[in-house]
Chain A
Amino acid sequence: MLIESGSPVAADNRIGISLTINGQQRELQVAPWTTLLDLLRERLDLTGTKKGCDHGQCGACTVLVNGTRVNSCLTLAVMKDGAEITTVEGLAGLANDGAGSNGLHPIQAAFIEHDAFQCGYCTPGQLCSSVGLMNEGHAKSRDEIREAMSGNICRCGAYTNIVDAIEDVMQGEAR
């Protein structure tokens, strides 16, 4: 069902949307109050994306929407009809050679290399946020990376190593 622009879809109706998720196009029927986070985790079994606070306060749910990082917990899926979504499961597919070395995106390899996590709960969000940061291209210095990553809380305090990993990949790309 297509939403006629301007006419209401009643609350008991599901709404047809089309999303490209990690390169795969999906036609989905969603209730308008379904967040993108719940859609990914509960319906599509893409449980890499994590729910931390569910209120925009931690960044664990960060995904890329059309290449831009956003908090999927505050995003209604129906509003992203037509968008391209990338979750942590799809990062490797974004790498230049299709799957990077070891089937990882360079930022994933750098997180391993720099020991940029402990429990790993924040990591999918940190990874997607790092890729979003690099797409944006505003943060250059270490201080700027720190500031631009402040939307991702790490309860284990792996911050220093996370910045190391991002710097490493950014320098590699500049080389």
Chain B
Amino acid sequence: MNRFDYVRAGTVAEAVQAFAGAPDARFIAGGTNLVDLMKYDVERPGRLVDITRLPLTGIEERDGGLRLGALATNADVAYDARVRERYPLLANAILAGASAQLRNAASTGGNLLQRTRCYYFYDTATPCNKREPGSGCPAIGGVSRIHAIFGTSEHCIATHPSDMCVALAALEAVVQVAGPAGERSIPFAEFHRLPGDAPERDTNLAPGEIVVAVDLPARDFGQNVTYLKLRDRLSYAFALVSVAAALELDGGTIRTARLALGGVAHKPWRNARAEALLVGKPAERASFQAAADLVVAEAKPQAGNAFKVELARRAIVRGLEQAAAGTPQSITDKRIQ
């Protein structure tokens, strides 16, 4: 690990202030991603701003929904009685990720800002446009098993590894941030970016901006949700493909559909046309297959991850079936019903 200055912020204003004049500063919350990357010399911050003492740990009622403080831990959120009752999609997505120890430390804000698990990004002996802009992308044409099949660019094919964010995308959460230029709200779909020609930027946060909260809208989809995560082992592994599905039904007819995919793109992947296609259709397999076909038609896989296209297609169908039946995927019994 490199040497760095340490600042313990007591207020959001102090945290933002501590960035001024220190462009290589980083906020640190749970540290489960940042400390890991610092050990690999991928991150070499000149200053760490410890935000764990900020009063942002709460989970509060707000406008019929919930406001998750940026420092509420992943465990706090997943086991909050209101989240479990009203947003089982979010609780299950969080519990599908990492391990109990990591979820106890990991924060809501840090989960949003965790970086890709691309092997080349982690290996400072190789080029990587995300780590070192302009150096190249060895994943293209290289080992690409865990990489993206949607929204890639010629500069980067990395995925965003979060499970929680896939559920937040489906729920259309809103991210509240504060920074040198004041406070603003960012709709979840606009928070993370596609790589384009600037893969070094994962999100649309400006330098020095800090996430203070994530708001869950009142609309919660009840039990007609699922988080289906497919991976190389049944626990403590990142998603190869995951699906967050949420439906509102009128009898057997779909009134609203939300579908977000994880493990397949630089951000939680949604397809507005596929969601629109489902509206007014009967909640049955034929409708789900049509939507899944539409989503995967846009896939541009690499040689190493072509299997994800069929995996995604089937996961979408199964996820929508689980949501329609009101039987969310169990996080302990891994059999896929």
**Chain A interface residues toward B at CB < 8 A:** 3, 5-12, 15, 32-33, 35, 54-56, 59, 62, 68-71, 74-76, 78-79, 129, 132-133, 136, 138, 141, 143-144, 146-153
Interface string of B251-280 (1 = CB under 8 A from A): 000000000000000000000000000000
The reply to whether A10 and B5 contact each other, CB–CB distance below 8 Å, is yes
Q: CA–CA, A59 to B332, complex, Å?
A: 19
A75 to B30, CA, bound (A): 8
CA distance A129 to B9 in the complex (A): 30
- Say whether A11 contacts B5, CB under 8 Å: yes
Give every chain B residue within 8 A of A32 (Cβ-Cβ).
4-6, 48
Q: Is B60 an interface residue (CB 8 A)?
A: no
User: Are B6 and A9 in contact, with the CB atoms below 8 A?
Assistant: yes
The reply to whether A76 and B104 form a contact with Cβ atoms under 8 Å apart is no
B176 at the A/B interface (Cβ < 8 Å)? Answer: no
8 Å CB contact of B6 from A15, A70, A71, A74: A15
Contacts of B2 in A (CB 8 A): 33
Residue B17 CB within 8 A of the other chain: yes
Given the complex, which residues of A lie within 8 Å of B333, measured CB to CB?
143
A129 to B32, CA, bound (A): 17
A6 to B332, Cβ gap below 8 A? Answer: no
Q: Using known A-B contacts A3-B8, A5-B14, A79-B50, determine if residue A151 contacts B102 with beta carbons closer than 8 Å.
A: yes
A71 & B102 in contact (Cβ 8 Å cutoff): yes
How far is B55's CA from A55's CA once the two chains are assembled, in angstroms? 28
B307 CB-CB contact with A under 8 Å: no
A79 neighbours in B (Cβ, 8 Å): 28, 31, 50, 52
A31 to chain B, nearest CB (A): 8
Contact partner, B31, options A69, A76, A143, Cβ 8 Å: A76
- B180 near A: Cβ within 8 Å? no
Given contacts A33-B4, A75-B31, A136-B75, 16 further A-B contacts (CB under 8 A): A3-B6, A5-B11, A6-B11, A32-B4, A56-B101, A59-B101, A69-B100, A70-B105, A74-B31, A74-B32, A75-B35, A79-B52, A132-B104, A150-B235, A150-B236, A151-B236
> Are A71 and B32 closer than 8 Å at their CB atoms?
yes
Q: Is the CB of A144 within 8 A of B332?
A: yes
The answer to the question of B18 belonging to the interface, with a C-beta cut-off of 8 Å to chain A, is yes
Cβ contacts under 8 Å, A129 to chain B: 100-101
- Nearest residue, chain B, Cβ from A149: B100
> What residue in chain B is nearest A137 (Cβ atoms)?
B79
